[in-house]
């Protein structure tokens, strides 16, 4: 059974408080979301039957500015996952010092089982359920797992209808024609690429072979960017399995084949291995670009890469971090997102202490 991601988020806060000797009262406050919105979303399906989906919007902290964070559609989305994601958003906004707080939304749904018409109905129904809780100065949703500019456009359009005026600032990640930003689709991957290249420069060791876990927006784009940079991609995965070829893979070709065949495991004339085997490959770089809890205490000892590059939220649990750290103490061999999380929390708590909470 996968570890509760919200438990992992709390563990990081506890460890940061201990290491940094932070204000424990403020840390306790940060552990708890300020607001939890849980809704039932009715959708009239194509067959005429009414189906209800569970949806969430978690508003973790708005001390630094409006809540900000993505909206994911996934069959395993649940309250604790979204609480963890919202908490991490607060930390990420704090560490880069932008005037936003942390929020996150999700709907428990398998988008592969919905027609486009049903998906649009679901999105618009969700917008109607949560419109009172979002807005340009309140909470600003964005794309996440299994959501894209088209879905965000539907949300924006429905919200605008409800409030009686066009309100493009209610969301980010819109299509370009509706005021979206150029480069938004590759932003996560480009950020990861910049971090990786700084790491290579600092520790002066070569990165040649790469495995990419996840082939959604973040995974597909980081694969293409690193391939263009000259690195050898030897494995690419999605939820169905992984393509493995030690001689190298062109992610641009895989992108087209996945669109044609639906998922990686369906692509003919390639070697398919399991996701578990893929993350254990002996490669220089393992990029984690899917969901949380990929590397845990159960498989951490089998990880053989030199560098773990995390594009996803919480793909490595705190327990796994410790195991990997003990496995090899050379700081040039392993780097941990968790250490950045400490710094994120330091900055967040410092902001609280600088401008103290107004308590009644």
Asked if 89 and 102 touch (Cβ cutoff 8 Å), the reply is yes
Q: Which of 3, 92, 104, 174 is catalytic?
A: 104
- Calculate helix-pair angle for 217-229, 187-203, nearest 10 degrees: 50
Which residue spans within 18-66 are E strands per DSSP?
Answer: 35-44, 50-61
Distance CA(109)–CA(130), nearest Å, equals 17
H-assigned helices in the chain = 5-20, 24-31, 79-95, 116-130, 149-163, 187-203, 217-229, 251-261, 275-279, 318-327, 337-354
Instruction: Give DSSP secondary structure letters for 256-289.
Output: HHHHHHSSGGG-TTS-EE-HHHHHTS--SEEEE-
Identify the residue whose tokens are 């592969």. Answer: 112
Strands 232-238 and 101-108: unpaired
What distance lies between CA 227 and its chain's CA centroid? 22
Distance CA(330)–CA(351), nearest Å, equals 33
Active site residue 104: yes
Q: Nearest-CA neighbor of 170 among 179, 360, 191?
A: 179
Catalytic residues: 104
């Amino acid at each position: 059974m996968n570890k509760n991601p919200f438990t992992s988020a709390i563990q990081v806060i506890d460890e940061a408080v201990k290491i940094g000797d932070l204000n424990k009262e403020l840390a306790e406050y940060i552990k708890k979301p300020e607001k939890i919105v849980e809704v039932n979303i009715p959708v009239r399906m194509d067959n005429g039957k009414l189906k209800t989906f569970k949806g969430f919007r978690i508003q973790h902290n708005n001390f630094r500015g409006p809540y900000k964070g993505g909206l994911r559609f996934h069959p395993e989305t649940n309250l604790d996952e979204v609480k963890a994601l919202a908490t991490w958003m607060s930390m990420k906004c704090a560490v880069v010092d932008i005037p936003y707080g942390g929020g996150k939304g999700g709907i428990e749904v398998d988008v592969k089982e919905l027609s486009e018409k049903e998906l649009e109905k679901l999105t618009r129904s969700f917008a109607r359920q949560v419109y009172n809780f979002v807005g340009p100065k309140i909470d600003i949703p964005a794309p996440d797992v299994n959501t894209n500019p088209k879905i965000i456009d539907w949300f924006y359009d429905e919200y605008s209808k409800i409030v009686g005026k066009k309100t493009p600032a209610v969301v980010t990640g819109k299509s370009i024609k509706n005021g979206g930003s150029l480069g938004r689709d590759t932003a996560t991957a480009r950020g990861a690429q910049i971090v990786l290249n700084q790491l290579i420069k600092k520790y002066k060791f070569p990165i040649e072979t790469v495995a990419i876990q996840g082939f959604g927006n973040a995974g597909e784009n980081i694969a293409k960017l690193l391939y263009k940079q000259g690195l050898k991609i030897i494995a690419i995965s999605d939820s169905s399995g992984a393509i493995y070829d030690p001689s190298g893979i062109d992610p641009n070709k895989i992108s087209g084949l996945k669109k044609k065949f639906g998922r990686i495991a369906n692509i003919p004339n390639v070697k398919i291995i399991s996701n578990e085997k893929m993350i254990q490959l002996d490669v220089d770089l393992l990029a984690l670009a899917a969901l949380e809890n990929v590397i845990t205490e159960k498989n951490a000892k089998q990880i053989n890469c030199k560098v773990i590059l995390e594009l996803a939220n919480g793909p490595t649990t705190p327990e796994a971090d410790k195991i990997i750290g003990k496995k090899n103490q050379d700081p040039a061999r392993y780097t941990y997102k968790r250490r950045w999380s400490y710094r994120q929390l330091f900055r967040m708590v410092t902001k609280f202490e600088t401008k103290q909470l107004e308590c009644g």
